[in-house]
Amino acid sequence: MSLSFQLLTTAGRARRGRLATPHGVIETPAFMPVGTLGAVKGVTPQELAAAGASVMLSNLYHLALRPGVDTVERLGGIHAFTGWRGPILTDSGGFQVFSLEGLRKIDDGGVSFRSHLDGSPLRFTPEGVVSLQERMGVDIAMVLDECPPWPIERAVAETSWKRTLAWARRAREAWQGKGGGLFGIVQGSVFPDLRQRAAEELSQVEFDGYAIGGVSVGESESDRHAVVEWTAPALPQGKPRYLMGVGYPGDILHAVAQGVDLFDCVLPSRNARHGVLFTREGVLRIKNARYKDDPRPLDPGCGCPACARTSRAFLHHLTRAGELTAAVLGTLHNLRFYLDFMGEIRQAIELGTFEDLAVRLASQSTEPAHGLESLAPVIFDPHDQARS
């Protein structure tokens, strides 16, 4: 195995770990900013590192369609291609393919689909998806999974997770292990026993890490939390656990408390482009007229390029005017917020104050500062939380 995971300390089920990859170390719990096409929208690789990111997430489905894996390989692999020098995890694209309703046809061997760009016919198999990710030289590859929609009938969910498990075994066989590692994915929708069985069976297959997939597809917060509670403890203790496509700070905190180590979500970047900005005191919508003359930084505790130099009033002005710099500054801020938040979580686990942090954030979530919105998912939109 080319990845090594070390558990440094725990606080209840919460874990403080260190995941070593060919392109560097990821201190966990960690948040992985989403660079679907090889770059976080509006952010240079240098700015992403300066924001505190230790790992970037990208997406095989999108890169395979454009520019194509051949191109990425010819250009020296995904790190040389994107200019991001740290670890890269690629999602396999299961989620994207299964979102292509009417354009895809699944069988036990894999999934055939048409490109959402030009309609050209393509096929993903468990073996092929592993090979494509290995060819790109990613640090962490994900198996091809079937990501069912929500809601779903129990019988369909059962067929689905069993196929995902069979595919995971085939992927593991196909994995060359020349560099980086391969993560399996647990499915099973919102059915407790299916999730637990899926987790137990997948744990019998030796992966470098285990992911919880099929959440953030429209289910309720309580369903999402329940899935994590059933699944995470059933995964191998000595391997990293990754909750895919999640989520709000409250979701992340809950999952860390259940023993999850890795997260990704488009929320910080996508929300920023819509003027929805995270602060330690709550969520603010920067277009709101109340910020027109507000001289304060977005968040006095933040050291991002926006907070270091400018005010809520300036970001309000740029956002209202539709200026590109508003999206850039907002994205850098929201990413820094998420990455700082993960740092606080790591420190709290080390110091034995994780429960205090959880209590403090829970109270902030229900009582945001005047004029702000709760950090809890008051702005929940299933599309906002989608794996992208």
Question: Least distance to a second copy from the beta carbon of 163, Å?
Answer: 31
Question: Least distance to a second copy from the beta carbon of 282, Å?
Answer: 22
Question: Least distance to a second copy from the beta carbon of 263, Å?
Answer: 22
User: By C-beta, is 24 or 76 nearer to a second copy?
Assistant: 76
Question: Least distance to a second copy from the beta carbon of 245, Å?
Answer: 20
Evaluate whether 336 touches 342 at the Cβ level (below 8 Å).
no
Q: Tell me, what amino acid is at 212?
A: I
Evaluate whether 131 touches 170 at the Cβ level (below 8 Å).
no
Q: How far apart are CA 281 and CA 312, in angstroms?
A: 14
Q: How far apart are CA 95 and CA 66, in angstroms?
A: 17
Q: Is the peptide bond before 67 cis (omega within 30 degrees of 0)?
A: yes
Q: Which two tokens stand for residue 270?
A: 């996508």
Question: Least distance to a second copy from the beta carbon of 82, Å?
Answer: 6
User: By C-beta, is 162 or 320 nearer to a second copy?
Assistant: 320
User: By C-beta, is 37 or 379 nearer to a second copy?
Assistant: 37
- Spatial CB neighbours of 27, under 8 Å, sequence gap ≥ 6: 17, 18, 54, 346
Catalytic-labelled residue, pool 145, 251, 264, 384: 264
**Sheet strands (E) in the chain:** 4-11, 14-21, 24-28, 30-32, 56-59, 88-91, 104-107, 110-114, 121-124, 140-142, 181-186, 209-212, 241-243, 262-264, 276-279, 282-285
User: By C-beta, is 197 or 316 nearer to a second copy?
Assistant: 316
**Opening angle at CA 273, ends 58 and 85, nearest 5:** 30
Centre a 10 Å sphere on the Cβ of residue 83 and count the other Cβ atoms it contains: 12
Active site residue 91: yes
Task: Write out the residues near a second copy by the rule CB under 8 A.
Answer: 37-47, 66-67, 71, 74-76, 80-83, 85, 273, 292-293, 295, 305-306, 308-311, 313-314, 316-318, 320-321, 323-325, 327-329, 332
Question: Least distance to a second copy from the beta carbon of 295, Å?
Answer: 5
Q: Is 117 helix (H, G, I), strand (E, B) or coil?
A: coil
Question: Least distance to a second copy from the beta carbon of 125, Å?
Answer: 25
User: By C-beta, is 85 or 114 nearer to a second copy?
Assistant: 85
Question: Least distance to a second copy from the beta carbon of 14, Å?
Answer: 34
Q: Which residue has the tokens 């006095």?
A: 300
User: By C-beta, is 185 or 304 nearer to a second copy?
Assistant: 304
Q: Is 266 helix (H, G, I), strand (E, B) or coil?
A: coil
User: By C-beta, is 17 or 35 nearer to a second copy?
Assistant: 35
Q: What is the dihedral of CA 228, 233, 239, 240, to 10 degrees?
A: 20
Sign for the pseudo-dihedral over CA of 335, 336, 341, 342: positive
Q: Which residue has the tokens 């919460």?
A: 14
Sign for the pseudo-dihedral over CA of 287, 343, 202, 224: negative
User: By C-beta, is 211 or 318 nearer to a second copy?
Assistant: 318
Catalytic-labelled residue, pool 91, 208, 261, 340: 91
Centre a 10 Å sphere on the Cβ of residue 93 and count the other Cβ atoms it contains: 28
The catalytic residue positions are 91, 264
